[in-house]
Amino acid sequence: MQTHDDITDVPGIRVGHDTNIEAGTGCTVILCDTSFVGGVDVRGGAPATRETDLLHPLCMMNQVNAVLLTGGSAFGLDAASGVVRYLEEHQIGYDVGVARVPIVPAAAIFDLAVGSAHIRPDAAAGYRACQQATVGPIAQGSIGAGTGATVGKQLGPAFCMKGGVGSASTVLADGSIVGALVIVNALGDIIDPLTQQVLAGARDPRGTGFVAANPFGNTTIAVVATNAQLTKSEINKVAQMAHDGMAQVIRPAHTMFDGDTVFALANSLTSQDQHPPRNPANGAIQVSLLGNAAALTLARAILKAVRLATTLHGIPAAQERT
């Protein structure tokens, strides 16, 4: 099986970017071409999100048509309207009899301090991202929603470094695939867990190395996806476990200043699909394995994001300091 080591290795997933280099912002859409059930876990105290309540296991909606990750802070959530329009034109969405209503959860990062604070992703940008969506290898680094992403902002924008888009995938022993796509926009530092060295963070004003990590604030938004069949409750558990990947490489994570949000997607498993009914213990084992793989894959995607980012608007990238 040919793989790209990114989230499009999960069958039925397409990814598209829309990028505005001059404004230092953009958006990234994850389109679901087959039936995916969605979950979400919001750990940050300052999220900018849309349609997350629908993903709670107590709510009736069992299908997600797309997920949007965007720059522009709360303004950028407008780009989801363009994704909805694109899906409606393709007759994709929840059938309510008189129309099909596309289900598009979304989350945004704060990137207004890079480029222009007055140009943000809008509905047209979301629509263009859908038009660019592909099952091929994903462009990563300073592109899409990661265009204006930065890390290491403890000393202000003058000493930060570039964040960006990263994606990775893992194949489990049973053949299940877990993919992750992340937008890394951390106030704190990105740490290589193997060496415990800072890959990107707040630069020392004296010109060498990094300052000590600040205990407050960073924002990372992500999507993890799998081709395994799960229920809505189970995929929400995978979203929860995936957050451990942030904690492995971003220090600190999940503070009151964060918008840290992980969406999760899986092939839908309903009671009608379970013939005979699945053993609860086997289901719990499967969810645990998938959740662990999601955390490890997300951590690797975060490292790829900063390693593949490029200098933009005078903000240096990690690859140019190694």
> How is 284-296 classified by DSSP, letter by letter?
HHHHHHHHHHHHH
Say how far apart CA 134 and CA 130 lie, in whole Å.
Answer: 9
Share of the chain above pLDDT 90, in %: 71
Triad 94, 223, 251: Cα angle to 5°: 150
Q: For residue 322, give both structure tokens.
A: 């190694």
Do residues 22 and 197 lie in contact, with contact meaning Cβ atoms separated by under 8 Å?
A: no
Q: Which residue has the higher pLDDT, 28 or 163?
A: 28
Can you give the pLDDT at residue 217?
A: 47
- Give the pLDDT confidence score for residue 224 in this predicted structure: 98
Angle, vertex CA 133, rays to CA 128 and CA 138, nearest 5: 120
Q: Is 69 in contact with 140 (CB distance < 8 Å)?
A: no
**How much is the pLDDT for 60?**
93
Identify the pLDDT of residue 151: 84
Measured CA to CA, the distance from residue 63 to residue 75 in angstroms comes to 26
pLDDT (mean) for 283-292: 96
Q: Which 3 state secondary structure label does DSSP give 106?
A: strand
H or E element in which residue 247 lies: helix 232-249
CATH 3.90.1560.10 fits 7-315, yes or no: no
For tokens 């229920």, name the residue. 231
Cis peptide before 276 (omega within 30 of 0): yes
pLDDT exceeds 50 at position 190? yes
- Ranking 7-16, 49-58, 213-222, 227-236 by mean pLDDT, the lowest is 213-222
SS3 content of the chain, % helix, strand, coil (to 5): 30, 30, 40
Residue 283 has what pLDDT?
Answer: 87
The stretch 233-256 carries a mean pLDDT of 90
> What value does the mean pLDDT take over residues 5-27?
98
Residue 99 CB burial class (10 angstroms; 0-12, 13-18, ≥19) = exposed
Could you report the per-residue pLDDT of 47-84, keeping only the tens digit for each? 999 999 999 999 999 999 999 999 999 999 999 999 99
Q: Report pLDDT for 215.
A: 44
Per-residue pLDDT at 204: 46
Work out the burial of residue 85: count CB atoms within 10 Å of its CB; fewer than 13 is exposed, 13-18 middle, 19 or more buried.
middle
Q: Considering only 29-38, 54-63, 122-131, 192-201, which range has the smallest mean pLDDT? A: 192-201
Out of 55-59, 71-75, 148-152, 308-312, which region has the weakest mean confidence (pLDDT)?
148-152
Q: Which of 2-11, 78-87, 236-245 has the lowest mean pLDDT?
A: 2-11
Across 24-134, where does the E strand assignment appear?
Answer: 25-42, 49-50, 64-70, 94-95, 100-101, 106-108
User: Taking residues 227-241, what's their average pLDDT?
Assistant: 97
Q: Report whether 36 contacts 128 (CB < 8 A).
A: no
Look up residue 68 and give its two tokens.
């949007």
pLDDT band at residue 216, thresholds of 50, 70 and 90? very low
Q: What is the pLDDT of residue 89?
A: 98
User: Rounded to 10 degrees, what is the CA torsion of 246, 32, 110, 319?
Assistant: 60
pTM for this one? Answer: 0.91
Q: What residues does each domain of the chain span?
A: 7-315
Q: Say how far apart CA 47 and CA 51 lie, in whole Å.
A: 12
